[in-house]
Amino acid sequence: MADKELLNLVQAKAKAWLNSNIDSESKKDIENLIQNNESELIESFYKDLEFGTGGLRGIMGVGTNRMNIYTVGIATQGLSNYLKQQFANKKSIKVAIAYDSRNNSRLFAEKTASVFSANGIKVFLFEDLRPTPELSFAIRHFNCQSGIVVTASHNPKEYNGYKVYWEDGGQIISPHDKNIITEVQKITDISDIQFDDSLKNVEIIGEKIDKKYINELSKLSLNPQVIKNQKDLKIVYTPIHGTGVELVPRALQVYGFENITIVEEQKIPDGNFPTVKSPNPEEPAALELALKKAKEIDADIVMATDPDGDRVGIAVKNNNNEFILLNGNQAAALLINYLISQWKDKGKLKGKEYIVKTIVTSELLKDIADKYNVECYDVLTGFKYIADIIKQKEGKKKFIGGGEESYGYLAGEFVRDKDAVMSCALLAETAAWAKNNGKTLYQELIDIYVEFGFYKEKLISIVKKGKSGAEEIQKMMDNFRNKPPQTINNSNVMLSHDFEKQKTFDQISHLRYEINLPKSNVLQFILKDGSKISIRPSGTEPKIKFYFGVYDKLEKREDFEKVNKLLDNKIDNIIKSLGI
């Protein structure tokens, strides 16, 4: 589309909003964009904010491509219409709503509740901010048909979002995601949104559901005596101004941990996230204050949760007594190894247990599961696919745990999304178990590498903002898809997986195989030397992600640094070979 055509389209959409019944402040903002900021006008209106990996996410502001009460209202009206179609036989349709500490989260949650209420749908609205996993739990507890959590997870402060859940407590997947989008697209005028400012169908929930959630979480503990032995384990925790501030310390205390230090500077919920550039526990800068505190008190473990309490970053001490950050694959390996080994020791393995990981997560998790004859399922990136496996296997097989490289983990079946509250409790228990055996978590991780092989991973994210950025990302994917590399870092590409075409190409036999997973814009290359490279655009952020996984044997603990350096060099050479 030519620039002039695009501008005409954008101006028409902006004028349609000006002529609607939106509030006067929003009208002023639109007029200001029309008169003074053409580029921002285009970014705000050039498209409608779309559902990504489970809902809306975008920069807050006025316009069809921004998070505001009207885009939230349109999404909720479309969802309401869809729920009434899907559950027409139910006397009462119910939803649960939670929200995080971001700016406007409470406002968006109340507007969402207002639209549901106006459509005759019963709403359970949390009284105050709560972590995302508790929303998943509440959906199942109240037998809801859907749920919403208002959050942009770990994105920068200018973002907010709206994640949609289905009756199983997991985020929406096909066909519901596409069907909801269809219903949302039918809402062509803001006047089509129904609001109920009296909130007549809304029930406020809080402490009672907190207690039930924490009670279920406490049942996951496998070694209460070990925790009793190590109750003084020094834990430093930061909620990074988010929702974990109440429930993470509470869960740790219920497990039996007594020596918990919360980072004071990051204790107060604040949507401006004043102490960090980005409230993302995947980024080292977000843990700086926690690491400072940990050094002061000589802590055993550091934990940091993101604003909506579903991801957790971990730091532990190495053999030089220096704190190092674990990546998501390492934390997942520690957790899964602990869970499965303890299930084995407690006689809980009956032959029908399984774990789940995503296709970009370390193969180390599968190796651990294989040792204990526990089945391992691979799913697409996104915890909603892990939740879907749990739903499919419910009553047939037993879910031990699962995880993804992006710092999300889960155990048990009462929550159907990644759960940082649960993960903090279980990772602390893992640390206590290691300490009880005379080891640090770092030493436990190295021992896992000695037993199963040294898997090393790295993630590179390339940010490309706005319309032009989206086009650049698509071009990069097209180039890799249409001209896949034959060799990478002087190692032949053995298998090329194209999850969008649902095809695997064996470059040795030249045979093609079906991929039995839903379509997804992901490419994956498996090399002769065992390396794995995955490429995918983010479904929630303006970036393209490159995942690198390499492998080598580790004969003994003492060789760790040497092999670690070799694997780092290998990853660097792969990156150079791909020209990124």
Q: Which residues are catalytic?
A: 153
**What is the chain's alpha carbon radius of gyration, rounded to the nearest angstrom?**
24
Structure token pair of residue 142 = 């109240």
DSSP string, 397-457: SEEEEEEETTTEEEESSS--S--HHHHHHHHHHHHHHHHHTT--HHHHHHHHHHHH-EEEE
* 560-577 b/e (C-beta count within 10 Å ≥ 16 → b): beebbeebeebbeebbee
CA–CA gap between residue 302 and residue 311 (Å, rounded): 14
Under 8 Å between Cβ of 119 and 80: yes
For residue 331, which amino acid is it? Answer: A
122-126 and 235-238: which strand pairing? unpaired
Give the neighbor-by-neighbor strand order of the sheet with 235-238.
Answer: 260-262, 235-238, 301-305, 312-317, 323-326
Angle of helix 105-118 versus helix 69-86 axis, rounded to 10:
40
Peptide bond into 175 cis (omega under 30): yes
- Beta bridge mates, 504: 497, 513
CA–CA gap between residue 105 and residue 271 (Å, rounded): 9
CA–CA gap between residue 489 and residue 324 (Å, rounded): 28
Query: How many helices and strands (H and E) does the chain possess?
Result: 18, 23
Vertex 468, ends 42 and 382: CA angle to 5°? Answer: 105
Under 8 Å between Cβ of 123 and 113: yes
- Beta bridge mates, 97: 125, 148
CA–CA gap between residue 291 and residue 95 (Å, rounded): 39
Angle of helix 3-18 versus helix 38-45 axis, rounded to 10:
80
